[in-house]
Chain A
C-alpha cells in the first residue's frame, strides 16, 4: 500500500499528442499513476497540464497516443466513460450548484429514488441521501456542520471538501484534482491537503495540480513537470527541491 512505486501502474498514458488548430499542445507525453500514489503535476501556464488531465478524464480524446488501465488499452468517448473506469475529476470552478444543499450536490445526477427507478420523475429518497452524505463525510473525517446548508452558504474549503466527497462517492481508483486549493485560505488549504493524504491511505491514486509548489511538495510522492507540451521532469518529490522544479518549469538555461 502507498508509495506505489514498482509494479505496473494503474493508469498509463503513452506518447500523447494533442493539437488545437495549429498549436501543438502536447508533444508525445508519457504519464502514469499507481494506486495509492499522489502525483503532483506542475508546469507554467500553457504547459499542457489541463490538456493532459482533460484527456485523462475523457473530456476530449488524444490525437495520437494511447491510454492503458491495468495494462489494457482503453478509449474514453466522454467523461462518463472515464468515470466508469473509476477516474473522477474535481474541477476548480464548475464544482457545486450553490442553490442546492450538501446531499443534493453529492448525489446530483445519480439521486437514489424511492420509486420510479432511473426515470426523470422518480421520487427522490431524501432521507437516504442525507444519511449517506453524512456517512461519507464522516468516513473522510471532515466536518461540514449543518448538511442542509446550501452549497453557497459554505466556506471555500467546505465547498471544496464537498466537491471531493462527491467525486469519492463512487469509490474511484483515480482522483484528478485541478487547482483544488486555488480559492482557499491557508487553514482551508491544509484541510484539503489532509484529505489528499487520506486518499493515499485508501489506495486511491491522485493527480494533484496546483500553482503553489509548496503544496505540491507537501502532498506529492512524485512530481511530473511539463513545459511547452513536453515532459521535462518526472522525479520522486524527495529527490527534488522547489528551486529545481521552478528551473525545470521555466526552462532556465543555467539549470
Chain B
C-alpha cells in the first residue's frame, strides 16, 4: 500500500488529531515543568488515566452507535460501592465482591439498553434517569458515607507489575480486546453500521436492538471495572465517586475523534483523548493552577477540539 492510501486510512480513524494534541501537550508540559517527565509523575499519570480511559472505552462504543451514556459516572459509584459493601459489611470473598460489582454495572447497562432499544427512549434521557437512580441507590446503600479500609490483597489491584501500574495494564488489556472486537468482529462492524445508517442496517436484517443492548451492557461493565479500580486506588468507596466522570469520558472520546453523530472514530483515538485530558490535568497541577481554573481549561480544550474536528466532514476524507 502506498503512503498516501495508508495516511488516508489512518486519518479515516481520526487518530492523528488526538495523537498530535498529545505530543504537543507532552512537549509543552516537559518544557514547563521539570517534574513532568520524572518516573514518579509518569506512573501517576498512567494510574490516573486508567479509570477515565476505561469509562471512555465504554462511552466511545455507545457514541459510535449514535447514542450517549450519561450514567457511567453514577454506575461507577454504585458498582464500586456494591463491591465495597460486599467485602466490608457482608464479608464476601474478594472475587465474589468483584463479581457483584461487575454484575451491578452490567445490569445497569442492560436496563439502559432496554430503555433505549426496546422502549425507544432517547439515550440522553434514558441514561440521565439511570444516572439519577444509580447515584441515589449508592447513597441509600451506603447511607451517604464512605466505605473504607479494604484487605491488602484487594488494594493490590492498584499496585505495580514491575514499573507499570496494574490499573494501567488492566485498562490497556481492555482496550486491546475491545479495539480488536471493533475492527475484526461482526459485532464491531454492526456498531459502526448502526451509527452510520441505523435504518439501512436494520433493513439488511441485522438485529439492531441486540447490538445497542450489548453496547450499553459493555459500557456498564466498563464503568463497574472503573469503580472497582477506584476502590482499590483510594482504599475506599465514596458515594460521590465518579461525579462528572461521564463528561470526562465523553470529552476523551470526542477529543479522540469519535463523532457524536455516530459511526466514526476508534478506541485508539479515544485512548489518546483520555491521555490528553489526564496530562492536561497533571500539568495544571504541576504548575499549581487551582482546581477551579482547571475546569475552565478543560472546557476550553474540549471546545477547541470540537471546533477543529467539526471542520472535517462527518465521514473523514
A148 contacts the other chain (CB 8 A) = yes
CB distance from A126 to the nearest CB of B (A): 8
B205 within 8 A of A: yes
Indicate with 1 or 0, residue by residue over B295-317, a CB within 8 angstroms of chain A CB atoms: 00000000000000000001101
B142-191 residues at the A interface, CB under 8 angstroms: 181, 184-187, 189-190
A109 touches B204 (CB 8 A): yes
Q: Is there contact, CB below 8 Å, between A108 and B193?
A: yes
Rounded to whole angstroms, the CA-CA distance of A56 and B264 in the bound complex is 35
A111 to B264, CA, bound (A): 20
- Contact A98 B197, beta carbon cutoff 8 Å: yes
* Closest-CB distance, B48 to chain A (whole angstroms): 31
- Interface SS of chain B: helix, strand, loop or mixed? helix
Across-interface contacts of A152 in B (CB, < 8 A): 314-315
A148-162 vs B, CB cutoff 8 Å, 1 = contact: the mask equals 101011000000000
A108 vs B189: C-alpha distance when bound (angstroms): 8
Binary per-residue interface labels of chain A (83-102) against chain B in the complex, 1 for a CB within 8 Å, 0 otherwise: 10000000100111111100
In the complex, what distance in Å separates the CA atom of A126 from the CA atom of B180? 13
Give min CB distance, B191 to chain A, whole Å: 11
Q: CA A91 – CA B314 in complex, angstroms?
A: 23
A240 interface residue per 8 A CB criterion: no
Instruction: Knowing A97-B200, A120-B214 are in contact, say whether A104-B186 is a contact too (CB < 8 A).
Output: no
B215 vs chain A, min Cβ distance (A): 11
Which residues of A sit under 8 angstroms from B196, Cβ to Cβ? 97-100
**Is B206 positioned at the interface, with any CB of A under 8 Å from its CB?**
yes
Q: Is the pair B185, A123 in contact by a Cβ cutoff of 8 Å? A: yes
- Report whether B200 and A95 are in contact in the complex, using a CB–CB cutoff of 8 Å: yes
A1 in contact (CB, < 8 A): no
- Judge whether A124 is part of the interface by a CB distance below 8 angstroms: yes
Residues of chain A with a CB closer than 8 A to B186's CB: 111, 113, 116, 119-122, 124
Known: A80-B205, A94-B200. A153 touches B315 (CB 8 A): yes
Q: Which residues of A contact B12 (CB under 8 A)?
A: 150
- CB-CB contacts of B223-236 with A at 8 A, as 1s and 0s? 00000000000000
- The reply to whether the CB of A79 lies closer than 8 angstroms to some CB of chain B is yes
Interface pair A96/B187, CB less than 8 Å apart:
no
List chain B residues, Cβ under 8 A from A148.
Answer: 5, 9
Q: Least Cβ distance of B77 to chain A in Å? A: 30
CA distance A49 to B191 in the complex (A): 34
**How far, in angstroms, from A95 to B203 measured CA to CA in the complex?**
9
CB distance from B52 to the nearest CB of A (A): 26
Is B101 an interface residue when CB atoms closer than 8 A count as contact? no
Give complex CA distance A100, B186 in Å: 13
A75 to B264, CA, bound (A): 40
Contact pick for B187, options A79, A95, A121, CB 8 Å: A121
Say yes or no: A97-B193 contact (C-beta < 8 A), given A111-B186, A121-B187, A122-B186.
yes
Q: In angstroms, how far is the closest chain A Cβ from the Cβ of B98?
A: 23
B193 with A124: CB separation less than 8 A: no
Question: Interface readout for A103-139 with B: 1 if CB under 8 Å, 0 if not?
Answer: 0100011110100100111111010000000000000
Minimum CB–CB distance for B58 against chain A, Å: 17
Is B210 positioned at the interface, with any CB of A under 8 Å from its CB?
A: yes
At the interface, yes or no: B195 with Cβ under 8 Å from chain A?
yes
The interface centre, meaning the residue of A94, A109, A121 with most chain B CB atoms within 10 A of its CB, is A109
Nearest CB of chain B from residue A176's CB, rounded to whole Å: 13
Residues on the B chain within 8 Å of A80, using CB: 205
Q: How far is the CB of A224 from chain B (nearest CB, A)?
A: 25
B271 contacts the other chain (CB 8 A): no
Establish whether residues B195 and A120, one from each chain, have CB atoms under 8 Å apart when the complex forms: no
Closest residue of A by beta carbon distance from B197: A97
Residues of chain A within 8 A of B314, CB atoms compared: 152
Given the complex, which residues of A lie within 8 Å of B193, measured CB to CB? 97, 100, 104, 108
- Chain A residue at minimal CB-CB distance from B188: A124
Q: How far is the CA of A98 from the CA of B317 in the complex (A)?
A: 12
Q: How far is the CA of A122 from the CA of B9 in the complex (A)?
A: 24
- Nearest Cβ distance between residue B197 and chain A, in whole angstroms? 4
**Also in contact, A99 and B264, with CB within 8 A (given A150-B315, A153-B315):** yes
Nearest CB in chain B to that of A166: its residue: B204
Whether A94 contacts B197 by the Cβ 8 Å rule is yes
CA gap between A122 and B201 in the complex, in Å: 18
Q: Is B44's CB within 8 Å of the partner chain A?
A: no
Determine whether the beta carbon of B197 is less than 8 Å from that of A109.
no
List the B residue with the shortest CB-CB distance to A121: B185
| Shortest beta-carbon contacts, A-B, top 4 | A109-B204, A99-B196, A99-B263, A152-B315
8 intermolecular pairs with C-beta atoms under 8 Å apart = A94-B197, A94-B203, A96-B197, A97-B192, A109-B205, A113-B186, A123-B184, A153-B315
With A104-B193, A116-B185 already in contact, 8 other A-B pairs whose C-beta atoms are closer than 8 Å: A91-B203, A95-B200, A99-B264, A109-B201, A109-B205, A120-B211, A123-B184, A123-B185
Which A residues are within 8 Å of any B CB, using their own CB?
79-80, 83, 91, 94-100, 104, 108-111, 113, 116, 119-124, 126, 146, 148, 150, 152-153, 166
